[in-house]
């Protein structure tokens, strides 16, 4: 059994210190919530709880909780979000399990619920309204409704500003999200993928919307997709270089190859759909329409 004294104590963040007066006002509700212990199953939930400064309530996170980086160091890791263990989660004595829709397996989640843990499903909606709604939902659970409201409003304002920028764009570019390039097999983000959502938020056209989800695309499919820009995830500092990417025969024949337009961004930042999403979309827009940035 984990004694509370052994739990990692959260360090006060700059935001928390600045928000100290608000914290004092919230003191009453915090005292009532002293016994709350949350387990987050889904990186976006962890990210939002940290953004709300409520990581003190968090006792466990899943292995997709990569942002902020200290989450993994400070909290117990209950494993991959789709392969949770009932006893593992219960060993942290949580009061609530906040789980994204895909968290599971279903039997395990059912067992956890039967053990008296309140299981709250958090939607994985990648729309602008979905992101704000998710922040408000988690804020209500974590007794941080005011701060969640402020954060959600900030995110909404970010999306509104983004929309203005988007509407001001003269012409739309075609962006191809490449998940991986292995043995010449190019995995792209098709329609209804998270990559598709962020590309559209950034005011671009998903060049791979002929396929659905993350799929390998044939060489001819790549040429037909005719992307102006290739978008990739930055893997541990050394992203695939433009040389490597555009030396692929199929990609070498695309408009993107002519201008060597390759954008590499942090994966979770780009596809997380949390509070940082307006920033991520704006960064993507800037990179796509103003040429690659470091």
Partner 1 sequence: MAGLFASRRRRLTIGAALLAVVLVLLAVASLGSGAVKIAPADVVRVVTAWATGDREALAGRDALIILSIRVPRLLLGCLIGAALAVSGALMQGLFRNPLADPGLVGVSSGAALAAGFTIVLGDRIFGTVAAQLPFVLLPLGAFLGGLASTLILYAIATRHGRTSVAIMLLAGVALGAFAGALTGLLAFVSDDRQLRDLTFWSLGSLSGASWTKVATVTPLILPVLLAVPFLARGLNALLLGEAEAFHLGIPVQALKRAAIMMVAVAVGASVASAGVIGFVGIVVPHLLRLLFGPDHRVLLPLAALLGAILLTGADLLARTLVAPAELPIGILTAAIGAPFFLWLLLRRDRTLDA
Chain residues binding partner 1 by CB under 8 A are 1, 60, 63, 76-80, 82-93, 102, 104-108, 110-111, 114-116, 192-193, 212-215
CB of 98 to partner 1, least distance (A): 16
CB of 104 to partner 1, least distance (A): 7
CB of 271 to partner 1, least distance (A): 10
Select 90 or 253, whichever has its Cβ closest to partner 1.
Answer: 90
Please check whether residue 264 is in contact with residue 233, taking contact to mean a CB–CB distance below 8 angstroms. yes
Select 4 or 21, whichever has its Cβ closest to partner 1.
Answer: 4
CB of 181 to partner 1, least distance (A): 17
Select 203 or 272, whichever has its Cβ closest to partner 1.
Answer: 272
Report how far residue 243's alpha carbon sits from residue 256's, in angstroms, rounded to the nearest whole number. Answer: 12
CB of 276 to partner 1, least distance (A): 21
Select 86 or 197, whichever has its Cβ closest to partner 1.
Answer: 86
What radius of gyration do the chain's Cα atoms show? 21
Report how far residue 222's alpha carbon sits from residue 252's, in angstroms, rounded to the nearest whole number. Answer: 10
Residues 197, 202, 205, 208, Cα dihedral to 10°: -50
Select 84 or 264, whichever has its Cβ closest to partner 1.
Answer: 84
């Amino acid at each position: 059994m984990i004694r509370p004294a052994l739990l990692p104590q959260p360090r006060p963040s700059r935001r928390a210190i600045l928000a100290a007066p608000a914290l004092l006002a919230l003191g009453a509700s915090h005292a009532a919530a002293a016994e709350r212990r949350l387990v987050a199953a889904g990186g976006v939930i962890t990210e939002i709880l940290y953004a709300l400064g409520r990581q003190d309530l968090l006792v466990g996170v899943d292995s997709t909780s990569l942002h902020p980086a200290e989450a993994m160091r400070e909290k117990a890791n209950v494993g991959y979000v789709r392969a949770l263990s009932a006893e593992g989660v219960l060993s942290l004595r949580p009061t609530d399990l906040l789980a994204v829709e895909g968290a599971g397996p279903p039997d395990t989640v059912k067992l956890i619920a039967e053990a008296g843990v309140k299981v709250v499903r958090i939607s994985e909606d990648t729309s602008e309204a979905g992101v704000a709604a998710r922040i408000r939902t988690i804020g209500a659970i974590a007794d941080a409704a005011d701060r969640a409201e402020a954060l959600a409003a900030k995110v909404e304002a970010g999306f509104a500003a983004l929309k203005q920028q988007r509407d001001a764009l003269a012409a739309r570019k075609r962006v191809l999200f490449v998940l991986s390039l292995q043995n010449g097999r190019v995995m792209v983000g098709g329609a209804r993928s998270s990559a598709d959502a962020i590309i559209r938020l950034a005011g671009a056209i998903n060049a791979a919307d002929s396929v659905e989800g993350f799929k390998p695309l044939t060489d001819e499919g790549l040429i037909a997709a005719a992307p102006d820009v290739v978008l990739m995830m930055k893997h541990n500092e050394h992203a695939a270089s433009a040389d490597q990417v555009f030396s692929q025969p199929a990609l070498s024949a695309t408009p993107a190859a002519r201008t060597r337009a390759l954008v590499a961004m942090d994966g979770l930042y780009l596809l997380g759909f949390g509070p940082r999403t307006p920033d991520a979309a704006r960064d993507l827009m800037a990179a796509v329409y103003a040429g690659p940035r470091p």
